[in-house]
Structure formats: structure tokens, C-alpha cells
Amino acid sequence: MILEQLAGNLFQGVVLGTVYGMATMGLSLIFGVLKVVNVGHGAFIMVGAFTSFAVFEYLGLSPVFAIPVAFGIGMVLGMIFYYSSIRRLLKGPELASLLATFSFGVILEEGIKFLFTSDFRGFNWDLGKIDMGFTVLPYAKMAACLGSVAIAVLLYLWFNKTRAGMAMRSVVEDGVGARVCGVNVDWIYALSFSLGIGLTVASGVLLTMFVSVGIQPYMGGEYTLKAFVIAVLGGLSSPYGAFFGGIVFGLLENGSYTLFARIPGLEPFAMTRFFSFLILLLILLLRPTGLLKAK
Amino acid sequence: MKGASRYLPAIPVLLAYAALFGFGLLHPEKWQLVAQLAFYCALGQAFNLFMGMTGYVDFGYVAFLGIGTYGMAISISGLADKGLGLGVIGIGLILSVVFAVLLSLAVGAVALRLRGAYFAIATIGVNEGFRYLIEGARIWNGSEGIIFSSHLRELVGREAAMSLSTFWADVMVFGVAVIATVLTIVYMRGKIGYALAALRMDEDAAKVMGINVTRFKIIAFITSAALAGLLGATAWAVKLTYVYPADVFGIHYTVEAIIIVLLGGAGTLLGPIVGGLIYGVSKYYLAVYLPGFQLLVFAPVIVAVIVLFPEGTAGMVKRKLLGTALEKYIL
């Protein structure tokens, strides 16, 4: 019984974890290229969730259409934030870019609250569900999982087959060298920043498949913390590391939930969140380079 | 700088607090605003003591205020029937500092080993993580929190409990502000201030010069946390007489602390007071015209401050007064 429950939860963990992984790739991409930590990460996910909600509720379209819309919104937001401030802060102390991205998050949260109020919203994209014996998985979640894999593959192709993608990798490896070889580093920074934000906002659409009534302006904080745990698991500067970190995190989260739920006197939901914070501290302390890379 | 003259910059700060306090006494109808302003100034000073002096951003700072609030709440609710009278408030203050220091040691043990961005990442979950520990393991009543207004009445009587919450709690906040001022100037004018200034400029170079940067970072971190604990115990616990984990670990207090310090000027003595007054007064009036959306106004302001004048108001004033007779009063 417990094993079946655990297996079911772990399977759900992989499905959710894949989406978590995709939701963290943007954070790692931005850190990898610009060495800027997007502390407002969760707020961008929230914007994606609201995009998904608006496309579904107001336009009556499938959330699939919300993905390109969200990606576009993210790209535009990324460009605006990059050229208005991030660009001028790259040479300054780390504190400046940290506080700036943090403020972007607050701007988005308060802006969305202004437009949509702080009520909880949600929608249900009902495609039916599949009974796998040990667990039941709605097709919508399955679609989100497959969508995440598809986006990760697209990003891989982008990095390996396009000029801009390869230029980004060259900047990560050696910024000065890339500049010498004629790479427009400033433009690569702008592109990476907005690509990262675009991916993050798009991931918000996919995540709405997992939160049926949790769409709210302040929903992002939780994802900021999770994304940091995942990014650190994956080594912080590698989008693929983040993708696998997401799957590991999904497993850890659901596995620990099953465990905490069996200990009397504990609130499993809150304990799981505390647990993820503990993982973050432990990894930062023991393996700051991530799980995959050797020290 | 030798002798007592190096402590002169404390004068304008203490005068500002005295003026604010006097204004509050003369205009009782504005006392709430005055108390709020004192809280913001003190919060800014406490936060500045670490962030401003080291250049490290602690996004989980509010956790120290939260745990301080619990320190006072536990004292009052647990010792109300022991016949200790006002001594319980004193025990609560001590407990809140002890709690805040313990938490800062636990957080610092991990986070202070890390630099810059990694430090920020380690601290961003501290407040939420701690809140979920309290709720998840049902510590101190879990998510139901502690309501101790009846205990406070039992302790000192109805009248005294009333005046404690509406007046003396705020006076204690002024007290915390004065302590923060004194500590800040002693630190800034002492060895630790110079060490941290070196660290802020170039941590590696500071290390190579033989400065024990870790030690000074820890001292600043603990001091800043202890002041936060006192603020939680006074401005939140004694004033509100209840504590809910969802309230006292809310990240927007960290946001406010960041705004205040940046508006005023990070790493200066006068900055957090200037920032606290600007923020407090504008928030007060924005609450009238744009209720609930003060942060929508302040967040873009912060980006603008970071990009356009990162030294803040006090930093600009300091630069303007360089070479004049007033120079030695500004820090």
C-alpha cells in the first residue's frame, strides 16, 4: 500500500519535476551568461500563469496557444528590463543587479495585482485522465510534461545549431575572447536575458496545469525558492543541469511529502517546503557546483 | 579622526529622533504616523548595519523580526501568571534577542561562507523556510499563532496593557532606534567599520591584507539580527499582542527595509533615517490616494535609484557638504 502510494507520488514527481526543470532553465541561462541572479524569477512565472488564465478564460483558447504568447511577453519584458537597467548594472557591484531584479519582481506582482486584483483564480483544462493502475494522471499534466521536454530539446538545438546560440555559449566560456572574435557581446547579453525571461514566462503557462486554483499575484515567491533549489542542484549556470535538477527536485518533493504525511503531528505540506529549503542550504554548503559536476 | 569628535555624526541622527518624538508628543493625533516612521527608521538602521556595511543582501531578513516577535509572545503568554509584572517584558526582550542571535548563527553558519549571489540565494528562503518549519512541525501553535492580549492584561492590568500597546511599545521602538544609531557609529568609526569598508570594495584584497573578514561579517550579521529581534518584540509583539507566522515572516518587510536603505543611502549613518522618513511619509499619503499599491510606486523608484544615483540621498548630501564646516556631522 505504502509502496504503491510512494510509486504513484514519485511518478507524479517526475512529471511535475520535468516542468519544474523547464521553469528553471531561464534562471540558469541568465546566470550562466550574464552572472546576474534573477531574484524576481517567481514573478515572471506568475505572469505566465496569468497569461495562460487570460488566454483560456477570456479568449477561450487552449493553453497551448498561451505558450507562444507568454514567450513573446517574456521576451519583451526581458528587453525592457535589460535595456532600462540591467545593462548599466553589469559592471557595478552584485548588490545592484540583485536589488534590481528583485524590484522587477515586485513591479510585476504589484502591476498584476493592479490589473487582476489579488483574488485566487484558476481554470480547468479538462482533457480526461489516464489510469495507470498505481496512479491517475490527467492528460493536461502529461501535456505540460511533454511540452517541457519539447522546449528543452528546442533550446538544445538553439544552442548547438544556430549562430546566436553558439555565440551565447562562446560568451559563457570566454566573454573577452568572444568579443575579440567579433561577437556583439552586448546584444548576446540582451538576447540571453530576454530568452531566459521568455522561457520563464512560458513555463508559467505549463505550471498552471498543476495549480488548479492557485493563480494569484504573489504565487511566484514559492517558485523563486524552488527554482533556486533546482538551479543549485544543477550547478546554477547550466540550463540542462537545471532541467535534470528539476526532475530530482520533483522526486525529492513528492517523496518527502509521502514520508511526512505518515509522521503524526506534522503538517506535510509545510514540512515539504521546509525540506526543500534545507536541501538548498545543504547543497550550497556541501556541493556548490551542483550534483552533476565534479568539484 | 581622534577623540569624541569622531562620534559627532550621531548628533543629527539623534536630534532627528528627538524631533520626531517631540512632534509625536505634541500632536497625539499623529502619534500613529510618528510610531510608524520610527519603526521604518529603526528597521532601516538595523538592516543597514549588515547590508549597507558589507554589501551583502539578506533577502530573508524579516525572519529575525519574526523570531523576535515570537520571543516576546512566548514570554508574555508563558509567564503571565508568575507574578513578575513588567519584568516579563524585560525577559521577553532578552529572549527575542537570544532567539534572533541563535537564528542568525544558524543562518550565518551556512550563508556567510558564501559570497555575493550565492549568499543572496541562501538567504532568500530563510523567512519562508522558517515559517514552514513553525507551521509544519506545529511549533508554538503552528499556523494558528499565539494571541496573548488576555495574558498581557492579566500581567499588568487592563489600563497598563492598553498604554503598553498604544504608547510604550512605540517608545521602545525609539529606544531600539537609538541603540541602533549608537552601534552603527561605534562600528563605523571602529576597526570593524574599516574592515567592512575594505571588504565591500574588494573582499579578496581585504583578505590578503590580513583582515579576518569572516569574523567581522559575522559580528555585523549578528548585531543586525539582534536589533531586528528587538524590533519584532516591540513594534509587533507588544504593540499588536498577537503573532501569526504568515504575518511576521512576510517578505514585504524585507522589501521595505531594502527600499528605505537604498533611498537614504546604503552604508551611511544618516541614510536609513532619511530613507525611513521619506518612505514612511510617502507611504502614508499614498495609502490615501492609492490604497494597497504603494509598492507599485516604490519598486520602479528603487530601480531608478539603483541605476541613476546608487549613493542615495544621504550619500548625495554627504558629497555636497564635503569640505564645509558641516562635514564632520554627516556620515
Cα atoms in the Cβ-side hemisphere of radius 13 Å centred on B105: 6
Residue B35 exposed, middle or buried by CB count within 10 Å (0-12, 13-18, 19+): buried
Check pLDDT > 90 for residue A237.
Answer: no
Residue B241: left (phi > 0), alpha (psi -120 to 50), or beta? left
ipTM: 0.85
Query: Nearest C-alpha of chain A: how many angstroms from B308?
Result: 9
CA angle A51, A57, A62 (to 5 degrees): 75
CB contact under 8 A, A85 and B306: yes
Q: Is A115 on the interface with B (CB under 8 A)?
A: no
Question: Does the distance separating the beta carbons of B306 and A89 come in below 8 Å?
Answer: yes
Q: What is the mean predicted confidence (pLDDT) over A72-90?
A: 95
Q: Give me the sign of the Cα torsion angle A187, A193, A196, A200.
A: negative
Which residue in A228, A260, A285 is closest to B124 by CB distance? A228
Question: Hey, are the CB atoms on A99 and B302 less than 8 Å from each other?
Answer: yes
Q: In the 3-class helix/strand/coil scheme, how is chain B assigned residue by residue?
A: CCHHHHHCCHHHHHHHHHHHHHHHHHCHHHHHHHHHHHHHHHHHHHHHHHHHHHCCCCCCCHHHHHHHHHHHHHHHHHHHHHCCCCHHHHHHHHHHHHHHHHHHHHHHHHHCCCCHHHHHHHHHCHHHHHHHHHHHCCHHHHHHCEECHHHHHHHHCHHHHHHHHHHHHHHHHHHHHHHHHHHHHHHHHCHHHHHHHHHHHCHHHHHHCCCCHHHHHHHHHHHHHHHHHHHHHHHHHHHHCEECHHHHCCCHHHHHHHHHHHHHCCCCCCHHHHHHHHHHHHHHHHHHHCCCCHHHHHHHHHHHHHHHCCCHHHHHHHHHCCCCHHHHHCC
Chain B, 73-102: which have a CB under 8 Å from a chain A CB? none
For chain A, what percent of residues have pLDDT higher than 90?
60
Q: Provide the number of CB pairs (under 8 Å) joining chain A to chain B.
A: 139
- Residues of chain B neighbouring A100 (CB-CB closer than 8 A): 302-303, 306-307
In which band, very low, low, confident or very high, does the pLDDT at A292 lie, cut at 50, 70 and 90? low
Does A30 touch chain B if contact means CB atoms closer than 8 Å? no
**Is A274 part of the contact surface with chain B (CB cutoff 8 Å)?**
yes
Contact B12, B271 (CB under 8 A): no
Inter-residue contact A18 to A242 (CB < 8 Å): no
Interchain proximity A107–B303, CB inside 8 Å:
yes
- Report pLDDT for B318: 84
State the pLDDT at residue B186. 94
Torsion of CA A167, A168, A172, A175, to 10 degrees: 50
* CB pair distance less than 8 Å for A271 and B300: no
Tell me how close the Cα of A63 comes to any Cα of chain B, in angstroms.
29
Tell me the pLDDT of chain B (331 aa) as tens digits. Answer: 567 788 889 999 999 999 999 999 999 999 999 999 999 999 999 999 999 999 899 999 999 999 999 999 999 999 888 777 788 999 999 999 999 999 999 999 889 988 878 898 889 889 989 999 999 889 999 889 999 999 988 888 889 889 999 999 999 999 999 999 999 999 999 999 999 999 988 889 999 999 998 899 999 999 999 999 999 999 999 999 999 999 999 888 998 999 899 999 999 999 999 999 999 999 888 888 888 788 888 889 889 988 888 888 888 888 888 888 887 888 8
B128: nearest CA in chain A?
A274
Query: Which strand (E) or helix (H) includes residue A137?
Result: strand A136-138
State the pLDDT at residue B321: 85
Residue of B nearest to A88 (CA): B307
What pLDDT sits at residue A231? 92
Pick from B117, B143, B266: CB nearest A98: B117
**Which of B118, B124, B262 is opposite residue A99, by nearest beta carbon?**
B262
Task: Give contacts of B 21-40 with A, CB under 8 A.
Answer: none
A164 in B contact zone (CB under 8 Å): no
How confident is residue A125, by pLDDT bands cut at 50, 70 and 90? confident
Q: Sign of torsion, CA A258 A263 A269 A273? A: negative
Question: What is the mean pLDDT of the segment spanning A121-145?
Answer: 87
A113 vs B: CB within 8 A: yes
Q: Which of A30, A90, A97, A99 to mutate: most B Cβ within 10 Å?
A: A99
Of the candidates B117, B143, B300, which has its C-beta nearest A94's C-beta? B117
CB-CB under 8 Å, B136 with A92: no
Is residue A284 very low, low, confident or very high in pLDDT (cuts 50, 70, 90)? Answer: confident
A262 neighbors B124 (Cβ within 8 angstroms): no
Give tens-digit pLDDT for A7-60.
888 999 999 999 999 999 999 999 999 999 999 999 999 999 999 999 999 998
Q: pTM of the prediction?
A: 0.90
- SS3 of residue A130 by DSSP: strand
Decide if pLDDT at A175 tops 50.
Answer: yes
Which residues are CB-neighbours of A87 under 8 A, at least 6 positions away? A186, A189, A190
Give chain A's mean pLDDT: 90
Which pLDDT band, with edges at 50, 70 and 90, does A294 fall under?
A: very low
* Minimal Cβ distance to B125: which of A92, A104, A277: A277
CB contact under 8 A, B117 and A37: yes
Q: What is the pLDDT of residue B1?
A: 56
Residues A176-230 have pLDDT tens digits of 899 899 889 999 999 999 999 999 999 999 999 988 778 999 999 889 989 999 9
Q: pLDDT band at residue A295, thresholds of 50, 70 and 90? A: very low
A31 contacts in chain B (CB < 8 Å): 117
The distance from CA B69 to its chain's CA centroid, rounded to whole angstroms, is 13
| C-beta atoms of B300 and A107 within 8 A | yes
Percent of chain A topping pLDDT 70: 98
